[in-house]
Amino acid sequence: MIGLAPLLRFARAALLAAAWSAISGPAHAASVAFEPPSENERRRAIGNLFEEPETIRPLFQPSDDFAPITLPGRGDWLNYHRETGQTFDEFRESGANRPDEYRKVIYLLPLGEFPEDDAPPLELLRAYAAAFFQLEVRVIPAYHPHGLEFGPRNNESTGRRQLHSASILAWLQKRLPPDAYCLLGVTMEDLYPSPSWNFVFGQASLDERVGVYSFARYDPAFFGRERRAAWRDTALRRGCKVLAHETAHLFGLPHCIYFNCVVNGANHLDESDAQPLHACPVCLRKLRLGAGFDPVRRYEQLRAFYRGQRWYEDADWVERQLARVATRTAADEKP
């Protein structure tokens, strides 16, 4: 169990803790009162859609497919973390890093073993990130840390080895390829960001454009539990989600407080599992500005990915978004 104080201190630091921190969280810590934004506040967060090309405008309009955020449950993220949100206009003003002509590749660097039987397939993670951000994503050859590298320790509650994520970030900074938009370490090793923390799922440094994410805790076997038949599917889904969520942070998006969204904070795995894979209208608009993609092409590629994984609910969800654009286009073309 971790304390709240180091958690908040850390989250405010230049390093953005990917902060699906320890769960059960600080039972002793006072919760914070979160008031879900009103419809007007949500619309204000989306911003002036007349600035977007008419053909794609429907993609950013609120609909039944974007459930507004509701009051958090007892152990949930927003019960412990004061989040003020960031509107689209605030994002535009923030001067966040964006890919440019020279620095436009997302690199994935496996740290340690990525055994086929235990880990989400790197090629699928790569393909998902490429569709989600519409950037080239390259997997570079794995690096195998030697025994004492990256401050290994044994976690008291799991008895398992963990690596110090902040040391990994410092190491990654020195290996950023010249054409990298960002360099993301992915690992099956468990991570801790500082001695007072129990663990962290991932951590990123926005200014340095590096991040590291662990998939260790997505596997029931990590906790000595039996894997269910569909655990590989669950592991891939969680891997895709953490990659989208954390990389969105690198694009300068803080946690979303407007809709159920892949950029919502999550305090525990159940909360994260309940969150969607998709970005809400506010975050989609920010990502489009940040990565400069065509949202229709992006949805087409995501639909193909979801179908390939037989994630039909997600494919149908995307289909409905594409239909909104098709309807609009058809209506526009009527004489």
For Zn ion, give the closer residue by CB, 113 or 273.
Answer: 273
Distance of CA 128 to the CA centre of its chain: 12
For Zn ion, give the closer residue by CB, 62 or 145.
Answer: 62
Maximal C-alpha separation, the chain: 71
Give me the residues paired with residue 108 across strands: 139, 184
From 74-82, 126-134, 151-159, 281-289, span contacting Zn ion (CB under 5 A):
281-289
Pairwise CA distance, residues 274 & 65, whole Å: 15
CA atoms within 13 A on the CB side of 253: 31
DSSP-based three-state secondary structure for 165: helix
For Zn ion, give the closer residue by CB, 108 or 242.
Answer: 242
Closest CB 32 distance from Zn ion, rounded Å = 17
Binding mask 240-279 for Zn ion (x = CB under 5 A): ----------------x----x-x----------------
Pairwise CA distance, residues 70 & 77, whole Å: 12
134 φ, ψ (degrees, to nearest 5): 55, 40
Closest CB 126 distance from Zn ion, rounded Å = 21
From 149-157, 235-243, 282-290, 308-316, span contacting Zn ion (CB under 5 A):
282-290
Binding mask 297-326 for Zn ion (x = CB under 5 A): ------------------------------
Closest CB 19 distance from Zn ion, rounded Å = 6
For Zn ion, give the closer residue by CB, 56 or 142.
Answer: 56
Pairwise CA distance, residues 194 & 198, whole Å: 9
CB atoms within 10 A of CB 110: 19
Give me the residues paired with residue 162 across strands: 153, 190
- Whether 41 is catalytic is no
Which position among 22, 125, 169, 283 is part of the footprint of Zn ion (CB under 5 A)? 283
Residue with tokens 């891997």: 239
The answer to the question of residue 11 lying near Zn ion (CB under 5 A) is: no
Of the residues 93, 246, 271, 333, which is catalytic? 246
The answer to the question of residue 212 lying near Zn ion (CB under 5 A) is: no
Residue type (1 letter), 208: E
For Zn ion, give the closer residue by CB, 32 or 142.
Answer: 32
Q: Helix H segments across the chain?
A: 4-12, 39-46, 77-80, 88-93, 122-133, 165-173, 231-250, 269-274, 281-291, 295-308, 312-333
Instruction: Give the residues lining the site for Zn ion (CB under 5 A).
Output: 256, 261, 263, 280, 282-283
Catalytic residues: 246
